[in-house]
Structures are given as C-alpha cells and as structure tokens.
C-alpha cells in the first residue's frame, strides 16, 4: 500500500530562466486538489509569493541550473524549498500533455503522495558554492589551455612540423624561429604567433587559478589529509571537498560511490544477468577527477595499484580496472572525511612530497601566517598530525627533511 506524505499542502514549481509556473496543491479528505496556479517571472518571484502564497508552505522544484539560487531566494524571503531529482516525473508525463503548468502540478501532486520516498538534491552552502565556482573556473581554464595546445599541434601538422600533442613552453618559443627558417609567409607567421599567444595566455590563467586552489587547500586541514590517497593531489582534494561538503550526508561509502557515479549498474532478468557497466548517473566532474586519480595511482608501487594490476592480470579490461580503482579511492575519501585515522605510515613519504609541492606553490607569506617558518616545518608538522597515532619510524624525520 502506498505510504502517503504527512504534508497537507505544497507548491510545485517549474522554473526557467525567465518564466516560472507555480501550482498550489492541498490534501482534502484523502484527495489531492488544486488550489490555484500562477504564472510569474524570475524577477517577480518574491513579490508573487508575498502576495499570493501562504506562509509556511513548502515549495518543490526539479534540480536545474538556477534551482539553487531559487531555493536560497525563497529561504531568504521566509519560504522553505526542496530540490527534487530531475527525473522525478519520468514515466508520469503524457506526451500529448506537456507544459510548465502541468509539470508544476505534477511535482506538487507527486510530493504530496510520495514525499518521504522521493530523492532530494543537496543544496550547497554559500561557501560550498564559492568553492565549486572556483573549481569550474579552473576547469574552464584547463579546457582553454588544452584547446590552444591542440590548435598549435594541428597548425604544425598542416605545415609539416612533427610535434608532440603535449605542447611545452620551449616548443612554443622555437615555433616562430623554425617557421622563419622554413620561409613561412607573413600571414602564416602571424597565425603561428597568435596561436602561441593564445596558448600562453590560457596557461597563465590556468596557473593563476591552480595557485588559488593550492592556497585554499593549504589552509584546509581536511583537504590536506585527502592527499594521503595515491593519485590525489590538491586539485582532486579541493574538488572532492567542494562537492561533498558534509560527508555525514552519506551514511556509508557505497552512498558516496553512487553519488559520484562509480557504482556498477544492475541489469538482469530471470536467470540471465547482463554485463555490469559503471553508472551513467552521478557527478560527471567528480567521476572524471577520480578516474584521472586512478590512472595516476596506477603508476605507483602501492597496495591499491597492485590490487588493480592484479585485476588486469586476471583478464579484466583496462577501463574496468581503472573504474574499480577509482571506486576504491572514493571509499578511502569517505573514511578520511569521516575522520578515520591513517592506517599506516606506508604512504608518509609520498604524502610529504605532495605537501612540499603544495607549499612551494603558495606564497611564503601564507606559510608564515600559518605559523610555519619554512616548508620543512610545515611538512613535518602536518605529517606529525596525520600520523600521530602511529608509532614513529626511526628515520621518519630524516625522510621528511630530505623530501622537503
């Protein structure tokens, strides 16, 4: 028997960049009835609620590009709101009856009937939103840098130059000189100079934003702790912390893995069970970062890498082993963010090397303002905090000093 929500009334919202449809629904005698429908605009949202919506009524809307800002605006004006998963109405809409008013009504009707059972979407805090935007800015800059490098590679290929796809600074500096030596025409040289300039500007922006992220990681102890994991450095640690925020909303590691989208899919019927691929849902940005971390971890001599290589030896495909390793990394992230102590000092030297790189990326004033006199002091103090519950190694301090 269907379990009905205890909510007596709710407002369904279908929001777009300008137009907004609202539907106020209420339970009366076991039936769900429509009270009123309203069409408004995003600019007039608060005024519409103040004039025509009763106080204390919950608003539900599907997660979309502007849903977070709408939830915050309603909260500031005194109305509570929840984001529902974007597929909440899948299978309920008829192909011949699709418009914003009907979608808003269906959202309210579904929530009144199945409220406790529906999946909601986490609304990030203001600080979490700022961190996400910082990450998106870095990601966009990285894309621009990659596109500029690919354009240089394509240009060189057209003009008979054999270059690596990973364009370096020295190769870019030598490109114009080599073009003049080959007798390129003036338009071709101008094109080459423009491509090199685009690449240098994109790289400068990317480096600037990466240093900003390094500064944030340096000031956050939990992001630093995430770098214990093989393959996880400052960018990955920052992204994980920015998108997860409160780890306690994931009761088990499996729920975090499913949120990222690294969980295997289930597809079976009767006695047959199809091959399980990685889920197509979840946060694609986090999934890509953890896959990159797994590929980096595969180049290390760690138990995680050995475990993944053992999967390859058993006949698993490379992508399957990488996805499995990324899933393991997500589980480690859950344990670290939950505050569980480091299991051993096995990765202490590698962690120290990451901390040295991080400290060299931030300004010296930042290091001193944090209470450290040098990079060595920062690395030694941080590793001492992470591994304080474990017995000291005889040469631990020497290893740290050599690394720094």
Residue with tokens 């303002």: 369
pLDDT at 167: 66
Q: Are strands 268-269 and 272-273 parallel, antiparallel or unpaired?
A: antiparallel
Give the CA distances from residue 214 to residues 144, 285, 367, in Å, rounded to whole numbers and listed in that order: 20, 19, 12
Residue 23 is encoded by which pair of tokens? 């539907």
As a dihedral over the C-alpha atoms of residue 300, residue 303, residue 306, residue 307, rounded to 10 degrees, the angle is: -130
Report the alpha-carbon distance of residue 223 to residue 108 in Å, rounded. Answer: 40
In this predicted model, what pLDDT tens digit does every residue of 339-370 receive, in sequence order?
A: 888 888 888 888 889 899 999 888 888 888 88
pLDDT greater than 70 at residue 321: yes
Residue 250, class by beta-carbon neighbours within 10 Å (0-12 exposed, 13-18 middle, 19+ buried)? Answer: middle
Question: Does 90 have pLDDT greater than 80?
Answer: no
If pLDDT is split at 50, 70 and 90, which confidence band does 140 have? very high
398 pLDDT band, cuts 50/70/90, is very low
pLDDT of residue 261 exceeding 80: yes
pTM of full prediction above 0.85? no
User: Which tokens belong to 297?
Assistant: 């971890």
Residue 3's pLDDT is 42
Q: Do 36 and 10 contact (CB within 8 A), yes or no?
A: no
Q: How confident is the model at residue 4 (pLDDT cuts 50, 70, 90)?
A: very low
pLDDT(290) > 90: yes
Q: What is the pLDDT of residue 394?
A: 46
In whole angstroms, give the CA distance from residue 284 to residue 239: 12
> Mean pLDDT across the chain, nearest whole number?
85
The whole-angstrom separation of Cα 276 and Cα 216 is 38
CB atoms within 10 A of CB 48: 16
Q: Which two tokens stand for residue 288?
A: 């890509």
User: Phi and psi dihedrals of 193, rounded to 5?
Assistant: -65, -40
Tokens of 222: 């939990």
Mean pLDDT calculated for residue range 132-159? 90
The secondary structure of 358-398 as a DSSP string is HHHHS-HHHHHHTT-SSHHHHHHHHHHHHTTTSPPPTTHHH
Provide the residue ranges of all domains of the chain, joining segments of one domain with +: 9-121, 126-218, 221-340
Strand partners, 28: 31
Residue 5 in this model has a pLDDT that exceeds 70: no
Residue 116: pLDDT band with limits 50, 70, 90? confident
Q: Distance between alpha carbon 308 and the CA centroid of its chain, in Å?
A: 24
DSSP reduced 3-state for 121: strand
CATH of 9-121, one of 3.40.50.11390, 3.30.420.10, 3.40.50.2300, 1.10.10.10: 3.30.420.10
With a cut of 70, say whether residue 7 has pLDDT above it. no
Helix (H) / strand (E) containing 96 = none
Q: How many CB atoms lie within 10 A of CB 350?
A: 17
Highest mean pLDDT among 159-163, 250-254, 299-303: 250-254
pLDDT range class, residue 2, cuts 50, 70, 90: very low
CB count within 10 Å of CB 307 equals: 13
119 φ, ψ (degrees, to nearest 5): -85, 130
What's the pLDDT score for residue 24? 94
Higher pLDDT, 303 or 171: 303
Instruction: State the pLDDT at residue 164.
Output: 64
- Give SS3 for 137: helix
């Amino acid at each position: 028997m269907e379990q009905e929500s205890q909510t007596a009334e709710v407002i369904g919202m279908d929001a777009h960049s300008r137009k907004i449809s609202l539907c106020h629904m209420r339970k009366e005698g076991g039936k769900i009835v429509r009270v009123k429908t309203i069409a408004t605009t995003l600019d007039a949202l608060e005024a519409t609620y103040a004039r025509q919506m009763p106080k204390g009524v919950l608003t539900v809307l599907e997660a979309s590009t502007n849903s977070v800002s709408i939830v915050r605006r309603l909260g500031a004006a005194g109305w509570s709101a929840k984001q529902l998963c974007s597929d909440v109405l899948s299978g309920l809409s008829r192909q011949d009856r699709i418009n914003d008013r009907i979608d808003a009504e269906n959202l309210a009707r579904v929530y009144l009937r199945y409220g406790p059972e529906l999946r909601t979407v986490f609304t990030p805090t203001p600080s979490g939103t700022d961190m996400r935007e910082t990450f998106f800015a870095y990601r966009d800059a990285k894309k621009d840098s990659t596109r500029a490098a690919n354009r240089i590679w394509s240009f060189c290929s057209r003009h008979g130059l054999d270059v690596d796809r990973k364009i370096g600074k020295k190769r870019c500096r030598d490109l114009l000189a080599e073009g003049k030596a080959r007798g390129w025409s003036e338009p071709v040289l101008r094109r080459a100079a423009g491509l090199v300039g685009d690449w240098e500007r994109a790289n400068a922006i990317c480096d600037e934003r990466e240093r900003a992220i390094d500064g944030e990681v340096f000031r956050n102890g939990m992001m630093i702790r995430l770098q214990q994991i093989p393959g996880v450095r400052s960018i990955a640690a920052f992204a994980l912390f920015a998108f997860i925020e409160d780890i306690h909303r994931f009761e088990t590691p499996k729920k975090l893995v499913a949120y990222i989208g690294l969980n295997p899919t289930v597809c079976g019927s009767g006695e047959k069970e199809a091959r399980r691929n990685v889920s197509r849902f979840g946060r694609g940005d986090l999934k890509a970062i953890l896959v990159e971390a797994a590929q980096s971890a595969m180049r290390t001599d760690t138990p995680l890498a050995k475990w993944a290589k053992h999967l390859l030896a058993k006949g698993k495909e490379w992508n399957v082993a990488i996805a499995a390793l990324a899933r393991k990394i997500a589980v480690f992230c859950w344990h670290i963010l939950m505050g569980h102590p480091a299991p051993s000092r096995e990765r202490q030297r590698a962690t120290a090397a990451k901390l040295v790189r991080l400290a060299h990326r931030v300004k010296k004033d930042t290091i001193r303002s944090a209470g450290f006199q040098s990079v060595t002091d920062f690395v030694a103090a941080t590793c001492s905090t992470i591994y304080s519950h474990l017995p000291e190694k005889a040469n631990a301090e020497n290893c740290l000093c050599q690394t720094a």
